[in-house]
Amino acid sequence: MSTQSDGSVAQRHDDEIGREQEYVSLLYGRLDDMREQAAQRLTEELRNTGGTLQARSQRDSSVQMYADQVEQFSAVENGLCFGRLDDTDGARHYIGRIGIFDTTGDYDPLLMDWRAPAARPFYLATAANPQGVKRRRHLRTRQRKVTGLNDEVLDLATASPTAHEELTGEASLLAALNAGRTGRMRDIVETIQAEQDRVIRADLPGVLVVQGGPGTGKTAVALHRAAYLLYTHRRELSSRGVLLVGPNATFLRYISQVLPTLAETGVLLRTPGDLFPGVSARRAEPAETAALKGRTVMTEVLAAAVRDRQWVPDEPLEIEIERDTVRLDPEMVRQARDRARRSGRPHNLARAVFDVEVVHALAAQIAERIGADPLGGENLLEEADRAEIRRELREEAGIRAALDELWPVLTPQRLLADLYASTDRIAAAAPMLTDAERALLHREPGGWTPADVPLLDEAAELLGEDERAAAARRERIRSFQREYAEGVLEIWKGSRSIDVEDEADGGEILGVTDLIDADRLLERQEEADRLTTAQRAAADRSWAFGHVIVDEAQELSPMAWRLLMRRCPSRSMTIVGDVAQTGALAGTPSWAEALEP
């Protein structure tokens, strides 16, 4: 594929449009091939596995990847190339939504990505500061047809008196403003203004606040900033990902097509109610309750709720074990609890310390009883005997049940549900609240509200997760998969048990089992099923994103901000909103107040 420049300034309009149509058609021919291949692979995948695209894509990341490709190629077909820059030295550069290179030669650029530094004069050049640009051309297309163009001549010395050329041209901007609405937000790559460009291309580190009233294009700028950052910082952000938080599901559907049309499908879109893995918070609740849950005082309430579950009984507990009974005194439990708390570990991880202390105390009680010297001397049991007693106690069902009651292993969902359902637990955890505020927290189980999500995340921090249990679970799954792979290879080996001699050299034909073992087969399968960055981030509560974009950020509560800061420890964020429009009772009255923590 190649292009040709005739260098003529005064050209007829219809001839120019014809050449533009030919050029764009060539570009779309290449994209059509890629799209057709992706669509064919997707169709074959669905035919082999069954099910709808939506249902299957939730389980199979490879199908989702094909679907993303189809969506991307379909989206960019409408207006792939939208501009041209004519330099004062006679060179021409076509500007589009993605970059395309001539693969038959030296990879010369045929279409320049709008995010490339060399494309920036398309948005910033003016007659006062042409930046080496002689003419800027805006192309308007409908699928494969050029429907119009508008030239802006930035160097009047080169303007042709017979051509339709203007000092300034705003036809493309007016066309975008007058375009009919479709229920989906459009990209603005064709009409980015200089002020918007400065926001879009701002540096990655730090927090950038985009403040503006309704209809000022804040959201569109934030989306294009996401595409720009992914293009410019691809190596960093492709592994860590970008999170975009919108106010509700309707809003996310409205903007969902913008990033794919900009050739980016790896951004994770979430509402505040979807930021805790496994929870989709849609339950409604009074605004006063949501405002209370959004206050930072809830960190104290949750910490107290966790401490309240570390129970010390008022009376001794009699625990039946095999052929014996042990007595668990309140003071023994209190000492074990204090030792576990001093460890500084989260609740679930400190449970191991608590277990050790209780078991040791009970083992000492039994050893004192059965190893006592009738003559009043030292205890007759050796350390090995005491260790065996402790081992047997750990396996006793009664002991394990008592430990679960005194120091239960909790999930964030269970902690919060138990707290809301009990007025006694609320009273114990929230003495700093008024009676009316405590009453707002009481409710029966039945789903989560968006205001609960930051509290679930806070509870997860306080409770912690025992990685040993998770690692053991992963190892069990991998062991099962390895056995399955070995079975597959064994079946193949049985079906290829007869050696076939090659008539030419007398050699043997190698089978699959000669080239690959069970571990390698398992690794190949894991590579094929590898999730995208966005999919892995969606399932991992502790994931640290490379950048976070928040729209309608003025509605976020202080507790929601705590959640987002945990998702982005680098504090690289783009915050979009208008504090004058704050509607939520827990929202922010100023950016300084929201961001100071």
Confidence at residue 1, expressed as pLDDT on a 0 to 100 scale: 37
Q: Would you place residue 6 in the very low, low, confident or very high pLDDT band (cuts 50, 70, 90)?
A: very low
Q: Would you place residue 70 in the very low, low, confident or very high pLDDT band (cuts 50, 70, 90)?
A: low
Average pLDDT over residues 541-549: 92
Most confident by average pLDDT, 44-58, 241-255, 482-496: 241-255
Confidence at residue 506, expressed as pLDDT on a 0 to 100 scale: 53
User: Rounded to an integer, what distance in angstroms lies between the CA atom of residue 302 and that of residue 19?
Assistant: 67
Listed residue (92, 110, 93) closest to 101, CA to CA: 110
Confidence at residue 536, expressed as pLDDT on a 0 to 100 scale: 85
User: Rounded to an integer, what distance in angstroms lies between the CA atom of residue 19 and that of residue 273?
Assistant: 51
Confidence at residue 3, expressed as pLDDT on a 0 to 100 scale: 38
Asked whether the predicted pLDDT for residue 446 surpasses 70, the reply is yes
Confidence at residue 500, expressed as pLDDT on a 0 to 100 scale: 47
Confidence at residue 561, expressed as pLDDT on a 0 to 100 scale: 95
Average pLDDT over residues 278-293: 93
Average pLDDT over residues 304-326: 88
Distant-in-sequence, close-in-space partners of 227: CB < 8 Å, separation ≥ 6: 115, 259, 262, 263, 264
Q: Tell me the two tokens of residue 49.
A: 């596995």
Average pLDDT over residues 315-331: 85
Confidence at residue 54, expressed as pLDDT on a 0 to 100 scale: 43
Confidence at residue 530, expressed as pLDDT on a 0 to 100 scale: 64
Confidence at residue 118, expressed as pLDDT on a 0 to 100 scale: 87
Instruction: Report the predicted TM-score, pTM, of the whole model to 2 decimal places.
Output: 0.75
Average pLDDT over residues 280-292: 93
Q: Which of 3-7, 355-359, 478-482 has the lowest mean pLDDT?
A: 3-7
Average pLDDT over residues 333-354: 94
Q: Would you place residue 75 in the very low, low, confident or very high pLDDT band (cuts 50, 70, 90)?
A: low
Rg for the chain, CA atoms, rounded: 33
Asked whether the predicted pLDDT for residue 434 surpasses 70, the reply is yes
Q: How many CB atoms lie within 10 A of CB 9?
A: 14
E strands within 12-91? 81-87
Q: Are 580 and 557 in contact (CB under 8 A)?
A: no
Asked whether the predicted pLDDT for residue 435 surpasses 90, the reply is yes
Asked whether the predicted pLDDT for residue 529 surpasses 90, the reply is no
Confidence at residue 482, expressed as pLDDT on a 0 to 100 scale: 72
Residue that wins the pLDDT comparison between 134 and 374: 134
Confidence at residue 20, expressed as pLDDT on a 0 to 100 scale: 40
User: Rounded to an integer, what distance in angstroms lies between the CA atom of residue 272 and that of residue 531?
Assistant: 23
Q: Which of 83-97, 236-250, 444-458 has the lowest mean pLDDT?
A: 83-97
User: Rounded to an integer, what distance in angstroms lies between the CA atom of residue 336 and that of residue 355?
Assistant: 8
Asked whether the predicted pLDDT for residue 573 surpasses 60, the reply is yes
Cα-Cα end-to-end distance for the chain: 55
Residue that wins the pLDDT comparison between 188 and 153: 153
Report how far apart, in Å, the C-alpha atoms of 90 and of each of 120, 132, 152, 168, 540 are: 18, 10, 16, 20, 52
Q: Which of 58-72, 346-360, 531-545 has the lowest mean pLDDT?
A: 58-72
Helix, strand, coil share (%) of the chain residues, nearest 5: 50, 10, 35
Phi/psi of residue 82, each to 5°? -125, 0
Asked whether the predicted pLDDT for residue 445 surpasses 80, the reply is yes
Instruction: Name the DSSP class of 579.
Output: G
- The average confidence (pLDDT) of the chain is 78
| Region for residue 331 given its phi and psi (left: phi exceeds 0; alpha: psi -120 to 50; beta: otherwise) | alpha
Identify the sign of the CA torsion 44, 48, 54, 59.
negative
Average pLDDT over residues 566-584: 91
Identify the sign of the CA torsion 397, 403, 404, 409.
negative
Confidence at residue 549, expressed as pLDDT on a 0 to 100 scale: 94
CATH 3.40.50.300 holds for 194-280+535-595: yes
Cα angle, residue 362 at apex, residues 360 and 367 outer, rounded to 5°: 90
Average pLDDT over residues 543-568: 94
How, if at all, do strands 324-328 and 317-321 pair?
A: antiparallel
Report how far apart, in Å, the C-alpha atoms of 203 and of each of 150, 189, 468, 576 are: 32, 19, 40, 16
Asked whether the predicted pLDDT for residue 149 surpasses 50, the reply is yes
Q: How many CB atoms lie within 10 A of CB 161?
A: 6
User: Rounded to an integer, what distance in angstroms lies between the CA atom of residue 450 and that of residue 282?
Assistant: 7
Task: Give residue limits of the domains in the chain.
Answer: 13-178, 194-280+535-595, 310-406
Confidence at residue 16, expressed as pLDDT on a 0 to 100 scale: 42
Confidence at residue 526, expressed as pLDDT on a 0 to 100 scale: 55
User: Helix, strand or coil for residue 100?
Assistant: strand
User: Rounded to an integer, what distance in angstroms lies between the CA atom of residue 239 and that of residue 309?
Assistant: 39
- Rounded to 10 degrees, what is the CA torsion of 400, 402, 407, 411? 60
Confidence at residue 180, expressed as pLDDT on a 0 to 100 scale: 57
